[in-house]
Amino acid sequence: MSSNGGAPYGSDEPTSFALQPPKPPGMPAPPNPSTPAVAVPHPDNPYALPTQVVPPQPQPAQMPPTTTPDPRVERLIAGRYRLLGKLGHGGMGTVWRAKDETVDREVAVKEPRVPDHLPEREQATAFERMRREARAAARLDHPAVVNVHDVAVVDGRPWIVMELVRGRSLGDALQEGTLGAREAAKIGLEVLGALEAAHAAGILHRDVKPDNVLLGRYDRVVLTDFGIAQIEGETSLTDTGGFVGSPEYIAPERVLGQRPGPASDLWSLGVVLYAATEGVSPFRRSNTPATLQSVLNATPAAPASAPGPLADAINGLLQKDPARRPNAAQVRALLETAANPPAPSPTTQFVPRAEAPQRRFRPGRKGWFGLGAVVAAAAVTAYLVIANPFAGPLPGGWKTEHEKDVAATLAVPAAYQRSVPDRKTDKRHWVTYTDLSGSIWIGLTLDRKAEDTTNDIAGSAAAEMYDDDTEFKQSGSYELSMPDGPGTKTRPDNATFRGNKAAQNTVVYKTDDSRNSRPRELRILYYKTRGGDMYKLTVSYPGKGDFTERGREVAATAIANLDVDKL
């Protein structure tokens, strides 16, 4: 619902949420240097990147046009609600500022409207659904949910009476700029709280979008339109103007006609957070069918302005499969970290490189998992960031997990998903933690000396690392196929772990995908215990793109905070 200069349920007053300047791409100079160009939003999408228009030349002074007051102003609804002026309007109705003369307070009153082409019976069904859902929304008791005071029936049509929130919508705010990661996360937390309250009451919102998020006074954030004025399944999804809701914010399962659930509202929250930081919905296209197709098939670029935990939350929420999206508790943990980032603390130390031990090649050993084949490798810069026994507190949004099978404690982001081997088919000792987008994973393997009947474990961590390095440069190493030739380069290094000798390597490679080969990067820490067991901590992440720096941060933190049961 558009607001025509103000929030649908509130007056247009400033809020304390800081906006950043819009980030449109470079635009050419206006045709006439004396006539400046003005950036205006896309006419169908107030969150899209601005387009350039040239304002008209000044015209001779004219008499101001006369305006005819709306005849409905001062109309009394249900004997108590006096209409004072329009706040906004949309496809499903008009929102009025009104005065409740019974209790002498200002309220927002929503005048319903359904498509004129609907038969009388369907209109009656729609009105009944609106009354039922408005009453359901009125049962919600949460500060981030707009309060529904009354449902006044006038000529068989339900007028929804709500509190008047003084502020403006997030949609209006995004026409002026974008939000920083912390501000977006704070707003996201409030919207998430409203959705949690609704879902606990068995209510789905089904239309979470910036226009329905109000930024009120005193940092209040309110989610409006809980199940109000929605007609699901009455018209075709591709019938422009008949489909209820904003297509670019609708979850894929709804596009497919499947039954929505709480995960569908969380998807919409992810799109709102993306739009809040990037200035545009990632799925918006030139028409509704193309937009719905992008919702189903397009993979948006990672949000460049929302690093770290906020990016993790957004990317997780935009998983096409609702079963793979994080739940509300996982999203809350990430948003809280993004809204209140911890002060940076040193978590690494630098160790000089030592001389390499003698190498030897042992093909066919097992120990790598989940990497897939690769087709090329590039020169790498070794990162000498190695575990520090005084690593300090974990970053916000991280946790430690003791893994009994690998006899170690891992530090991992709280929202990562855990995987372990199926003991019926895999007797190796390993565990992985993967972020919800699948872009970054952390894996720890343990080769036990007592189980090494073929003497595959090298004499030291450095020797093990150089054995692997040799196999990287040849072919057929561990499910990781590296081509021969001078193009394959690595720079392994010796280091320390908890004051003991250790080793590490960094490998850059490309995935074996003939259609879309992608660069990847590995950070590997090797450590051999006094008892002869060999640990390998591996962190894998994209070699280029928005996730690269995040992956390197994850690698540095995971390596710095690894703790094994017995050194």
494: which DSSP letter?
Answer: E
Reply yes or no on whether 546 is catalytic.
Answer: no
End-to-end CA distance of the chain: 62
H-run or E-run covering 132? helix 120-138
Contact 355, 501 (CB under 8 A): no
- CA dist 294 and 247 (Å) reads 10
What is the C-alpha separation between 303 and 309, in angstroms, rounded?
Answer: 11
Element (H, E) at 42: none
Residue 491 · residue 558 · CB < 8 Å: no
Binding site for ATP, residues? 110
DSSP, residue by residue, 407-451: TEEEEEETTPEEE---TTT--SEEEEEE-TTSS-EEEEEEE-GGG
Contacts of 528 (CB under 8 A, 6+ apart): 457, 458, 460, 461, 464, 501, 534, 535
Cα(245)–Cα(1) distance, rounded to whole angstroms? 9
CA distance 385 to 495: 9
Annotated binding site: 110
Q: What whole-number distance in Å separates Cα of residue 311 and Cα of residue 308?
A: 5
Please state, in angstroms and rounded to a whole number, the distance separating the CA atoms of residues 251 and 320: 8
Catalytic residue, candidates 172, 207, 447, 546: 207
Distance CA 77, CA 88 (A): 18
Q: Can you state the angle between helices 309-317 and 262-278, rounded to 10 degrees? A: 130
C-alpha 251/C-alpha 270 separation (Å) is 10
Q: Tell me which residues are annotated as active site.
A: 207
